[in-house]
Structure 1
């Protein structure tokens, strides 16, 4: 069993709390504030039936209700991954983490759960919120 040094444990603990706080704040901002305020329907909404009849054959009813802007899954996933992007030093790992989160955001569009702009703005919200929380933690540590 590998034993971590005190400094490494402190860094992992800090990463955990930053990720948790960024995820919670992003979820609150996306679901409670932005989605309620903007109220943009999803791509498979009944009102768009004339435009999307071919893809409306999907059995999943969850992509037909609720609001699209901003994509909650995209924003939360980026909020969870971004602190790791800021904490790792290897640029290749940073790139893989970013590509992983981007691929997740793309699935929201591919499954017709969100418009591309909604998934993109969800990613921007999650990345921005997590970056802000990370910067605040760094300032408070000094």
Structure 2
């Protein structure tokens, strides 16, 4: 069963990875680079501080907590536990893939990019989505960043899918705990 799933995942990866174009390579490299998004994060932090003043610290801690947990589960627990090689480190795929940048770490399951971006998107949605529906667009951003990992040959589709699940679950956990606190209950009332 696992072998069949791995084979299907590899085939889907090769098909998706080969849907490339020379003009898209630099775009996907930019999308996949973490530093590209630093201005977005700075604007988000600035907006939260401006809009929520005192409550901003709680919101930022909740968001950072969900992103941090997602990253640690992906990088420090699942990758060392599974030892699944990245596609760009798999010799049998060398001639079949389109790598557009350096490969990075050795292991791929699960995608930390998918875990952290979906943790951020889910946290924002759960905390503020009712009042600010535009935060729903962060899921599109997270999906594009996650897809970029397949495009640059760093992850298989199941790595991305599992990373997405890790991110969503970590946000559900941390935001759920936050909503159970006094501060969180007040924030829920403010958010309506």
Fold agreement, TM-score > 0.5? yes
Q: Does 2:68 correspond to 1:24?
A: yes
CA contact (8 A) 1:15 1:83 kept: no
Please give the per-residue CA displacement for 1:72-131, whole angstroms capped at 9, x wherever unaligned: 111111122221111222574133111111111111111111001101111110111011
Unaligned regions of 5+ residues in structure 2, if any? Answer: 1-48, 186-192
Q: Does 2:86 correspond to 1:45?
A: no
Q: Does 2:131 correspond to 1:87?
A: no
Determine the structure 2 residue equivalent to 1:104.
Answer: 145
Superposed CA RMSD in Å reads 2.3
Determine the structure 1 residue equivalent to 2:178.
Answer: 137
Q: Please state how far the C-alpha of 1:4 moved relative to its aligned partner.
A: 5.5
Unaligned regions of 5+ residues in structure 1, if any? Answer: none
Aligned residue pair count = 134
Supply the distance in 2 between the matched residues of 1:97 and 1:76 (Cα, whole angstroms): 12
1:94–1:36 Cα change, 3 Å: same
Supply the distance in 2 between the matched residues of 1:14 and 1:120 (Cα, whole angstroms): 29
When structure 1 is superposed on structure 2, of 22-31 and 33-42 the one drifting more is: 22-31
Q: 2:106 aligns with which of 42, 66, 88?
A: 66
Please give the per-residue CA displacement for 1:22-70, whole angstroms capped at 9, x wherever unaligned: 1211111111111000111111224324xx40436x463324x411100
